[in-house]
């Protein structure tokens, strides 16, 4: 584990207005937990009927599992909680645009809406580098909204990687 704790403070949004910023703040708080666990700071929450039913942060290093992305863990936990692999009426909030694997999982699980913070033009597959959700022959096309609390998500990721480059501890995602 890193000796450098996350320099950012958690956000405590009011539950009076459960909007995209409210749920993304919870995902952001999980990104802080990821940093403190020496993981790439990405957090995700899965929402059903305006309640968070599952949440996770990246755990690829902790689990020595390249598929242990925040989105994958939150989707798996949410499906188990609902007792169904179809998550049509769920919304996923994640601090960074999902990669090809996580984008595919959102489509395969039939998630209705995906919200993300930081756009990823290199590996994001919900509008950044590619648009898997817009494949012509796909039978499921979730609605996608980016840019929610993007400044916070951008800053925490950039600073995490700057710190690890200085410490000469290569971390890649």
pLDDT tens for each residue of 120-131: 999 999 999 898
For this structure, is 39 an active site residue?
no
Contact 46, 92 (CB under 8 A): yes
What was the pLDDT predicted at 171?
55
- Separation between Cα atoms, residue 92 and residue 34, nearest integer Å: 18
Helices (H), the chain: 20-36, 70-82, 100-108, 150-166
Contact 57, 31 (CB under 8 A): yes
pLDDT surpasses 80 at 101:
yes
What was the pLDDT predicted at 151?
98
What was the pLDDT predicted at 90?
98
Pull the structure tokens for residue 64. Answer: 């020595």
For the chain, the average pLDDT equals 94
Q: Which of 17, 51, 71, 151 is catalytic?
A: 71
Phi-psi group of 56: left, alpha or beta (phi > 0 → left; psi -120 to 50 → alpha; rest → beta): beta
Tens of pLDDT along 27-73? 999 999 999 999 999 999 999 999 999 999 999 999 999 999 999 99
Relative orientation angle of helices 70-82 and 20-36, to the nearest 10 degrees: 120
- Separation between Cα atoms, residue 137 and residue 112, nearest integer Å: 17
What was the pLDDT predicted at 1?
43
Tens of pLDDT along 146-168? 999 999 999 999 999 999 888 76
Q: pLDDT class for 134, splitting at 50, 70, 90?
A: confident
């Amino acid at each position: 584990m890193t000796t450098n704790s996350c320099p950012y403070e958690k956000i405590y949004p009011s539950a009076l207005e459960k909007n995209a910023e409210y749920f993304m703040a919870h995902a952001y708080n999980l990104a802080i937990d990821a940093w403190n666990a020496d993981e790439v700071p990405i957090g995700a929450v899965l929402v059903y009927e305006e309640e968070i039913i599952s949440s996770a942060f990246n755990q690829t290093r902790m689990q020595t599992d390249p598929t242990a992305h925040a989105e994958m863990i939150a989707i798996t936990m949410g499906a188990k909680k609902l007792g169904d692999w179809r998550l049509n009426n769920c919304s996923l909030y994640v601090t960074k645009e999902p990669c090809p694997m996580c984008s595919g999982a959102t489509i395969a699980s039939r998630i209705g809406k995906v919200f993300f913070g930081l756009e990823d033009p290199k590996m994001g597959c919900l509008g950044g580098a590619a648009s898997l959700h817009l494949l012509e022959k796909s039978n499921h096309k979730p609605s996608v909204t980016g840019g929610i609390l993007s400044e916070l998500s951008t800053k925490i990721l950039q600073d995490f990687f700057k710190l690890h480059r200085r410490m000469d501890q290569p971390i890649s995602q």
